[in-house]
Amino acid sequence: MNGALAPSYRPRPAVMGIVNVTPDSFSDGGRYVDTQDAIDHGRELFAQGAAIVDVGGESTRPGARTVPDDEEERRVLPVVEALAEVGVVSIDTRKEAVARSALAHGATIVNDVSASLGRVAAEFGAGWVAMHAQGDPTTMQRAPHYTDVVDEVYRFLEACREDAQTFGVRELYLDPGIGFGKSIDHNLELLRHLVRFGDLGAPVLVGISRKSFLAGLSRLNRIEDPGQREEESLAANIWALTHGASAVRVHEVTPVMEYLKLMDAMEFARQDNE
């Protein structure tokens, strides 16, 4: 592994806050379509402790339709530019043109559900989140199938790591793609073996916040309103952070930050008593 890909682990796991500048995202679609509302929300996420704010202008929920490049850029570029003055901004896109425009406007990470934009990230000296997905948003949840989901996702991300080395990517995160072409059992199997992905030598990012399979596991079965899945989301994020994840992508930053602060306090107390 070359020096450009030395894992950039932070003193504590990184929390990536979500700003969806979309009318149709599965959880908060329409809530931040106004540019100023999106900027204000991103600033609030930074104030709550987010290390990264992830700005997206196209929904990748199951069944979502593709947004034209110019419309996606119209949605995200002013938000990216404003938030880049506050902290680290990632652009959540599958499109090369949108990634290039966002990087030119201040984004420093490409959050790439297509795992196809590593060369662009390297060209701009940006970080790259390479995610596994089976199919695309229009088809991915129709009938996901694997012989061995953990091994197949591992091999895919291993290839992404090799691509990142070839391209000279500055900072790499690997994302197993929870909910992207996976059944409930596939998601659970990936989470159960999450620590294995750390063997790839790069930080592992998990995006699990408010996803529908969490509601199916809860006795409350809160499927209809994703915004009501915060308890399930926090439990899943705690699991991920204690089983190999170096970063989590969340809608609500504060609960995860409070958990991390508590863990820090407990660790310091333990060290003082040794």
Out of 161, 170, 211, 229, pick the active-site residue. Answer: 211
Residue 43, in any domain of the structure:
yes
Active site residue 100: no
Backbone φ, ψ for residue 137 (5° rounding): -55, -30
Q: CB of 247 within 8 A of CB of 13?
A: yes
- The answer, as to whether pTM is greater than 0.75, is yes
- Could you read off the pLDDT of 182-222 as tens digits, one per residue? 999 999 999 999 999 999 999 999 999 888 778 766 655 55
- 268: which 2 tokens? 């310091």
Average pLDDT, the chain: 87
- Could you read off the pLDDT of 21-61 as tens digits, one per residue? 987 555 555 676 789 999 999 999 999 999 999 999 998 87
Which residue range is the domain that position 79 belongs to?
12-272
- 163: which 2 tokens? 């691509």
- CA dist 36 and 235 (Å) reads 32
Cα→Cα distances 191→92, 116, 232, Å: 22, 24, 14
- CA dist 271 and 274 (Å) reads 5
Dihedral class, residue 224 (left if φ above 0, else alpha if ψ from -120 to 50, else beta) = alpha
Out of 61, 75, 229, 249, pick the active-site residue. Answer: 249
Average pLDDT over residues 60-78: 87
* pLDDT band with cut points at 50, 70 and 90 for residue 122: very high
CATH code at position 53: 3.20.20.20
Residue 27, in any domain of the structure:
yes
Residue 232, in any domain of the structure:
yes
Q: What's the total number of domains in the chain?
A: 1
- pLDDT for res 10: 42
pLDDT of 174 over the 70 cut:
yes
Residue 5, in any domain of the structure:
no
Of the chain, the end-to-end C-alpha distance in Å amounts to 36
Residue 3, in any domain of the structure:
no
Residue 6, in any domain of the structure:
no
